[in-house]
Amino acid sequence: MTRTAPPASPDDPRTLRRPAAETAPRRGRPRDAARDRAILDATLAVLTESGYRALTTAAVAARAGVSTATLYRRWSSKDELVIAAAATHIEDVRTQPDTGTLEGDLRVLLRDKAAALTGEAGRLMQALVGEAAQNTALADALTAAFLEPVHRRVGEAVRRAAERGQIDSVPDADLLGAVVVGPLMSRFLLMPRPDQVDAATAQATADRFLPFALRAVGAG
């Protein structure tokens, strides 16, 4: 016959030794936004120095000054971490100014993209574009972070110009993004070190592309 041990009394030593944290419900510590940003910045730094394949979560954690356990509580894999880092460079399409003319809108857009491509975003794109050809999740993240926003900005500028009567209405205006910005991206992304291009040169290059962009949307 199996005996069942009596329940422990409040004075039982086993009860007294039980930590209060074991009986009280635990509350999760709120995420530290500054720490999250430090990890993402460290990811970008390691990525641009070593490339995607050589990047390790241990190297990122060391650069950010956190443990790998802290990193994995936020992102469960290397891919998730890199995609989150890429997302920090998503352009805000709501900041696109309305200059009153198509030429002015496209000039601002091309200059903005040239500045991005010769900065951190350009280094990130160079580090990831080869890997993205074999990694669908990464390719989708790059498309969302770098291509879709600027394509929408081109589409908005073209639609505004058509509403003003400056150009004829253009079907599939969103597709013009690749035509307007694609040559500029090719110019900088194929360079060995686009980050070594100074701001004045980047802006001048963008302005040289402007006449071709205007002709592409029917304003030339």
Query: Which residues lie closer than 8 Å to 69 by C-beta, 6 or more apart?
Result: none
**Do 167 and 218 contact (CB within 8 A), yes or no?**
yes
| Count of structural domains, the chain | 2
- Report the pLDDT value the prediction gives residue 219, as an integer from 0 to 100: 84
Report the alpha-carbon distance of residue 185 to residue 191 in Å, rounded: 10
Q: Is 121 exposed, middle or buried (0-12, 13-18, 19+ CB in 10 A)?
A: buried
**Residues 124 and 196 grouped into a single domain:** yes
Q: What is the pTM of this model?
A: 0.73
CA distance from start to end of the chain:
97
Residue 27 lies in a domain: no
- Within the chain, residue ranges assigned H as helices are 13-17, 20-23, 33-50, 57-64, 68-74, 78-87, 102-117, 120-132, 136-142, 148-164, 176-189, 199-216
Residue 2 lies in a domain: no
Residue 9 lies in a domain: no
Question: Burial letters for 25-61: b for 16+ Cβ neighbours within 10 Å, e otherwise?
Answer: eeeeeeeeeeeeebbbbbbbbbbbeeebeebebebbb
**Residues 165 and 77 grouped into a single domain:** no
**Residues 131 and 204 grouped into a single domain:** yes
Which domain CATH number covers 44? 1.10.10.60
Give the structural domain span for 44.
33-87
Tokens of 112: 């903005």
Q: Is 11 exposed, middle or buried (0-12, 13-18, 19+ CB in 10 A)?
A: exposed
Q: What does each of the 220 residues of the chain score in pLDDT, given as a tens digit?
A: 445 445 444 444 333 333 333 334 444 456 678 899 999 999 988 988 888 889 999 999 999 999 999 999 999 988 889 888 887 766 544 567 789 999 999 999 999 999 988 887 788 888 888 888 888 988 888 888 788 888 888 988 999 999 999 999 888 776 888 889 999 988 988 887 887 889 999 999 999 999 999 998 888 6
Residue 177 lies in a domain: yes
CA torsion sign for 144, 147, 153, 157 is negative
Tokens of 41: 């910045």
Query: Which residues lie closer than 8 Å to 72 by C-beta, 6 or more apart?
Result: 57
